[in-house]
Amino acid sequence: MGDELGQSTRERVARSILEQGPSTAAALATRLALTPAAVRRHLDHLVADGALEARDPRAQDGRGRGRPAKVFAITEAGRGRFDQQYDDLALQALRFLAETGGDDAVRAFADRRMSFIEERFADVLTEDPALTPAEALARVFTAEGYVAGVRELPLVGQSPAQQLCQQHCPVSHVAHEFPQLCEAETAAISRVLGRHVQRLATIAHGDGVCTTCIPSTPTREKVAQ
């Protein structure tokens, strides 16, 4: 029972970092209502197991006296443990589709896979009109397992913008071989907003997070569809 409880708590620690981004032991202890000693014990285990890595904080984070606290981040191996158990099957299926139907068939599949964006975006904005487009997209993606959030950006030209950040991508390993999935996702975002959006980074290509620049004002006709 003790081992199962410890494993469950370690999963909570790892998931918190997955969802909230790199964190210190102190921040995790507060967030998860655990003692600092308990958090450090689980962090040590997760680092030894390869699920997390300890990083030195950025220079601006090391304020005050004493040694700056280490920041713990999820690794690719740690991210992959959450929901990548069907990767091999998905890859085999897409390889077969590519061999028998060609690139057009793969693109059609990718478009259908990402159709949830267009199906849910307008509904989310209708349910909560105060949301920005990026915030609405974050809710849509999080509901599909992408663990998405929003970060404020400086003015882009004369328009405010936000950054859609996906801390986790349930299809990242497959998208590494079939980038059509990422392309279809970006295209669907552009369609619901009625304008071009810029993909800045993707987990599938080795970045720690998927990021997309989202203008703050959508095209209302697109939202209404």
Q: Any idea where the domains of the chain sit in the sequence? A: 2-81, 87-224
Is the pLDDT score of 38 beyond 70?
yes
The CATH code for residues 87-224 is 3.30.1380
Tell me the mean pLDDT in the region 120-135. 94
Tell me the mean pLDDT in the region 126-155. 90
Predicted pLDDT of residue 192: 94
Could you tell me which residue, 72 or 225, shows the higher pLDDT?
A: 72
- Of all helices (H) and strands (E), which one includes residue 73? strand 71-74
Instruction: Round to whole Å and give the CA distance between 131 and 118.
Output: 16
Is the pLDDT score of 83 beyond 90?
no
Closest CA relative to residue 116, chosen from 172, 176, 189:
189
Cα angle, residue 182 at apex, residues 202 and 125 outer, rounded to 5°: 95
Could you tell me which residue, 59 or 68, shows the higher pLDDT?
A: 68
Predicted pLDDT of residue 224: 40
Instruction: Round to whole Å and give the CA distance between 144 and 168.
Output: 10
Q: Is residue 219 within 8 Å of 149, Cβ to Cβ? A: no
Instruction: Round to whole Å and give the CA distance between 5 and 47.
Output: 18
Query: Tell me, which fold does domain 2-81 have in CATH?
Result: Arc Repressor Mutant, subunit A (1.10.10)
Predicted confidence band of residue 15 (pLDDT cuts 50, 70, 90) = confident
Predicted confidence band of residue 217 (pLDDT cuts 50, 70, 90) = low
- pTM score, whole prediction: 0.62
